[in-house]
Structure 1
């Protein structure tokens, strides 16, 4: 197990609760400090976890500067990502951060430059790499079983922003906080999983962004507010390996709770993976008589990736980092792709990455 690692958590919203639950399963990892702008959240989570009152911080600098904290898990809105990344680098504090890396490419470049002179153990949470079925697919493709990849289709659909849901104006609809809409939120996952599974980089993009629900009600003022970010995005990509990809993502796909999936069409068959069952992989291949057969593999022997366990290991420095996890450079690459999609949309043409 090694020495105990003491974790500080920044941001105590719904996703943070999941991170804390998973950290609780890691031998030798213990949450010792919390940070949030909400006094109520600090009190609620602090009492639940038994965190002392003097370890419940209202500012990131106080938590990051705490000598009793060995590493930081950050789960905050996008507009605070840069400040947390920079503060951890300057303090030499290991960091496990949510994607996207930043709001804009300019911010990502600023972070990358600082990281070169102030490297720290750092994980960016592109979480769909972790799933057992996606890990099975990665190995399947890596063994050459798919053959040459001709084309692929990736989609990430949710329905919580649909008109009938009457979802109010939240931070994910606020351009100043989020940068882009569903593109940066869900599209970032699609881009990461496509390049991760294929092992090939996108070289050209063409895109179309749309705001399907142009106004939402501010829950505080009860006034209508204009939405300046996309809630639907689609784009096409050409890859270095010669394959092409079609991508779509939406917050308006009624009936789709959290549907992230990829289908890869190779010369030897077709491979399909979906979050709708992250322990199944569908494989379609040719029969000798000219037809095809589809098999569904139950992925029982693959555990997937455990980033919380990996983060604790990196803090201890007890083994070489696993390269399967997304690095800061991967986060920067992802931000570059997001920026290129926006450029392609505005230019209404194919844009080189």
Structure 2
């Protein structure tokens, strides 16, 4: 009989509660502790998941020290992720952190080094790694596309209307705007499905604040090591949710399409301009189930700290480019940066 996987969840005001429901739906897994600075969030989640009073914590660190955990899921504001992940890894606890993993490039580098030196797993909440459409596109890249040369990706969403006044438009908590929020998924999907290494970014943005810290629209031109180029658009001021990813190479291309937040459709286009519906199969595996599998089987997480480093590096370069008006190099080194004297 396999022992029950015991999970703690930090941050119950938004994504944390759905994550906890996903964990609870897995046979042999249970949410046994919750942490949140909000009394109401703690109480509501604890009552839903049957967490006793002694394992309802205001502090993330107190939960890590006070509860017997196999894993912890972190769904707090973005700028809190780094210290909370470090605290879990230092205690040897397997960790699922919602995206973006970090909004600071040095922090992202540090978490790559820490996670790869630790016996504890670090999984990042990029769910497109679990989507049959995106997984099949990645698996078939060499055969159906060849060496990628042109990429186009975008997402639209009525983000700014719904997020004004929340922590997601407070850059001290969010690290930025729409590009660091929903846009992070689009960049990850593009980078992960192709495996390309970005080398530079030029970006234009529309900001929602005078300090130019919270973007609501972003257009990125990304160059890659193999010579490929990508056009990426992220709109947080549109009436509907639409997402696309197109990748083209010497053999043909693939197209991923979707609306709202359901599963995406995949089609391949061959060199004769014939479109073929994807032959991908398999059900979508949610993040909670995937995290339990990582803990139980000791497998590599579907999305890793190295995946997250790429996204943070491109995102930070894009913000710098938009503010400075110049093209900015993408730095994917994992060693600490050394400042010149």
- What TM bracket, shorter-length normalisation? 0.7 to 0.9
Q: Structure 2 unaligned runs (5+)? A: 331-341
Query: In structure 1, what is the equivalent of residue 333 of structure 2?
Result: none
Q: Secondary structure of 2:274's match?
A: strand
Per-residue CA shift, 1:6-62, capped at 9, x if unaligned? 000111123222212221222211111111111112111211211111111111111
* Aligned mates of 1:352, 1:228 — CA distance in 2: 20
Q: Is the 8 A contact 2:201 2:329 kept in 1?
A: yes
* Aligned mates of 2:18, 2:243 — CA distance in 1: 19
Q: Secondary structure of 2:179's match?
A: helix
Q: Secondary structure of 1:18's match?
A: helix
Q: Secondary structure of 1:275's match?
A: strand
Per-residue CA shift, 1:228-257, capped at 9, x if unaligned? 311111111112222110001011012x23
Q: C-alpha displacement at 1:286, in angstroms?
A: 4.4
Query: In structure 2, what is the equivalent of residue 230 of structure 1?
Result: 215
Q: Secondary structure of 1:340's match?
A: helix
**Aligned match of 1:202 in 184, 198, 205?**
198
TM-score, normalised to structure 2, is 0.88
Q: C-alpha displacement at 1:260, in angstroms?
A: 2.8
* Aligned mates of 2:135, 2:112 — CA distance in 1: 28
Query: In structure 1, what is the equivalent of residue 304 of structure 2?
Result: 327
* Residue pairs, 1:342-353, within 5 angstroms: 342-353=319-330
Query: In structure 1, what is the equivalent of residue 289 of structure 2?
Result: 309
**Aligned match of 1:273 in 227, 245, 256?**
256
Q: Residues 265, 111 of structure 1: CA spacing in aligned structure 2 closer, same or farther, 3 A cutoff? A: closer
Q: Is the 8 A contact 2:115 2:121 kept in 1?
A: no
Residue 239 (structure 2) pairs with residue 241 (structure 1): no
Q: C-alpha displacement at 1:117, in angstroms?
A: 5.4
TM-score, normalised to structure 1, is 0.85
Q: What do you get for the CA RMSD once the two structures are aligned?
A: 2.3
**Aligned match of 2:184 in 174, 188, 205?**
188
Q: Is the 8 A contact 2:153 2:186 kept in 1?
A: yes
Query: In structure 1, what is the equivalent of residue 246 of structure 2?
Result: 263
Q: C-alpha displacement at 1:293, in angstroms?
A: 3.0
Residue 62 (structure 2) pairs with residue 84 (structure 1): no
Q: Residues 151, 24 of structure 1: CA spacing in aligned structure 2 closer, same or farther, 3 A cutoff? A: same
Q: Is the 8 A contact 1:171 1:178 kept in 2?
A: yes
Flag the structure with larger Rg: 1
**Aligned match of 2:274 in 287, 293, 296?**
293
Q: Secondary structure of 2:84's match?
A: helix
Q: Structure 1 unaligned runs (5+)? A: 216-225
Q: Is the 8 A contact 2:79 2:173 kept in 1?
A: yes
Q: Residues 333, 294 of structure 1: CA spacing in aligned structure 2 closer, same or farther, 3 A cutoff? A: closer
Per-residue CA shift, 1:112-134, capped at 9, x if unaligned? 45546555211011112211111
Q: Secondary structure of 1:264's match?
A: strand
Q: Residues 313, 240 of structure 1: CA spacing in aligned structure 2 closer, same or farther, 3 A cutoff? A: same
Number of aligned residue pairs: 328
Per-residue CA shift, 1:154-209, capped at 9, x if unaligned? 112111324xx6x5321111111111111211232222111211121111211112
